């Protein structure tokens, strides 16, 4: 009898630990939800809080005179369900350090659960070794975030789906295709479309986009002789007399995009629109796009445009409604994948 009682106590203890790990208190009430932001994309964080109808958590995130990052959480987070919004965009290393220090500060302040909301995941293109004696940087960053104390990750359009497996914690991988496809449906209604993948690795993404907006599928073949340099080789598909919509996950230097656009116009496309989730726009990418034959570039606000950068060709659509709904569902323990069904 004593053994049975002891076994029952152990089972109840394990159940209680599981409930607490999920962020649910034993009394059945929900933990407080708080959203904090680093300095990489404060406008997106503010918009997310607006959609959630809540104020943003107070935090001091700055830099000491010796260039070390300074973080201080300015309110009580004990037992709370906390979300940290931080794109690891340029300056990438600085924003990663901010994220790590914020997670550590929240952990040390006894937050019940910390979810890192990373709209743009830096180092995502370094997800494999291309030569000997190279790091797998995307995996290392995942290890750092986990070690800092994150319990969960929310990301948008990771460059390689395999990055999800780099984490030993749950990852909610959101997609921007539905939001950008809605823009195309609203602004190019009635157009004869050709949805173009800029490389063979993006065919699934482009085909998903095509199923949402209609049109034909085309594929541009390319190779990379060295990093950030791409050579367009050939194209499969017919774009003559159609509006070509290039669908990609990111625009960095813009070189590949512009070469693909020139090929599409030479093959008879009436105009070229680009849709890419992450607008990195490294170097003089914006100036090159302004001088190119591309009519519009539709991107999202996972990365804010750099100060002083302006182009009438670039249109940003907001990911805040999707991120806010994902945060709400995670907090209430509802399905996130149902957002895409």
Q: Are residues 142 and 96 in the same domain?
A: yes
User: Of 125, 129, 222, 313, which is the active-site residue?
Assistant: 222
102 in a structural domain: yes
Q: Are residues 145 and 247 in the same domain?
A: no
Q: How confident is the model at residue 208 (pLDDT cuts 50, 70, 90)?
A: very high
24 in a structural domain: no
Place of tokens 């924003």: 95
Q: Are residues 274 and 307 in the same domain?
A: yes
Q: Are residues 155 and 274 in the same domain?
A: no
Q: Are residues 99 and 220 in the same domain?
A: no
Per-residue model confidence (pLDDT) at position 232: 55
Q: What is the pTM of this model?
A: 0.89
Read off the tokens for 231. 């050579």
Read off the tokens for 328. 């709400």
If one counts the domains in the chain, the total is: 2
Q: Are residues 156 and 195 in the same domain?
A: no
Q: Are residues 40 and 139 in the same domain?
A: yes
Q: Are residues 229 and 312 in the same domain?
A: yes
Query: Does residue 332 register a pLDDT over 90?
Result: yes
Helix (H) or strand (E) holding 178: helix 177-187
Of residues 209 and 224, the one with the higher pLDDT is 209
320-331 and 42-52 helices cross at what angle (nearest 10)? 60
92 in a structural domain: yes
255 in a structural domain: yes
Partners of 197 in beta bridges: 219
DSSP category for residue 188: S
What is the domain range of residue 313?
Answer: 177-317
Please state whether beta strands 81-85 and 113-118 pair in parallel, antiparallel, or not at all (unpaired): parallel
CATH number of the domain bearing residue 270: 3.40.50.2020
Q: Are residues 190 and 303 in the same domain?
A: yes
**What is the percent of the chain where pLDDT is above 90?**
80
19 in a structural domain: no
pLDDT, one tens digit per residue, over 39-82 is 999 999 999 999 999 999 999 999 999 999 999 999 999 999 99
Residue 297: name the closest of 321, 314, 311, 285 by CA: 314
Q: Are residues 189 and 312 in the same domain?
A: yes
Query: Does residue 193 register a pLDDT over 60?
Result: yes
Query: Does residue 5 register a pLDDT over 60?
Result: no
218 in a structural domain: yes
Greatest CA span in the chain, whole angstroms? 84
pLDDT, one tens digit per residue, over 135-159 is 999 999 999 999 999 999 999 999 9
Q: Are residues 219 and 115 in the same domain?
A: no
Does the active-site annotation cover 313? no
10 in a structural domain: no
3 in a structural domain: no
Q: Return mean pLDDT, the chain.
A: 91
Q: Are residues 157 and 185 in the same domain?
A: no
């Amino acid at each position: 009898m004593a053994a049975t009682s002891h076994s029952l106590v152990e089972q109840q203890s394990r159940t209680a630990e599981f409930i607490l790990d999920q962020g649910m208190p034993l009394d059945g009430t929900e933990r407080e939800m708080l959203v904090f932001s680093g300095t990489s994309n404060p406008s997106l964080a503010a918009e997310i809080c607006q959609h959630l109808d809540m104020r943003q958590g107070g935090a001091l995130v700055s830099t000491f005179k010796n260039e070390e990052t300074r973080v201080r959480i300015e309110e009580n987070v004990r037992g709370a369900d906390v979300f940290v919004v931080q794109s690891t965009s340029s300056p990438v290393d600085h924003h990663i350090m901010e994220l790590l220090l914020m997670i550590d500060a929240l952990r040390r302040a006894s937050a019940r659960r910390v979810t890192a909301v990373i709209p743009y995941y830096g180092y995502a293109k370094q997800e494999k070794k291309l030569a000997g004696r190279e790091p797998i940087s995307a995996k290392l960053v995942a290890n750092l975030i986990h070690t800092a104390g994150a319990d969960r990750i929310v990301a948008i359009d990771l460059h390689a789906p395999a990055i999800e497996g780099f984490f030993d914690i749950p990852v909610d991988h959101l997609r921007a295709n539905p939001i950008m496809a809605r823009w195309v449906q609203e602004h190019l209604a009635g157009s004869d479309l050709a949805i173009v993948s800029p490389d063979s690795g993006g065919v699934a993404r482009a085909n998903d986009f095509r199923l949402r907006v209609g049109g034909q599928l085309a594929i541009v073949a390319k190779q990379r002789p060295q990093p950030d340099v791409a050579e367009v080789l050939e194209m499969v598909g017919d774009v003559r007399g159609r509006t070509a919509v290039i669908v990609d996950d990111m625009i960095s230097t813009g070189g590949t995009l512009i070469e693909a656009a020139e090929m599409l116009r030479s093959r008879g496309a009436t105009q070229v629109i680009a849709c890419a989730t992450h607008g990195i726009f490294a170097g003089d990418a914006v100036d090159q796009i302004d001088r190119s034959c591309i009519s519009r570039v539709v991107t999202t606000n996972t990365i804010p445009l750099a100060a002083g950068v302006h182009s009438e060709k670039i249109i940003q659509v907001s990911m805040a409604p999707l991120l806010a709904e994902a945060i709400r569902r995670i907090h209430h323990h509802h399905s996130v994948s149902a957002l895409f069904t």
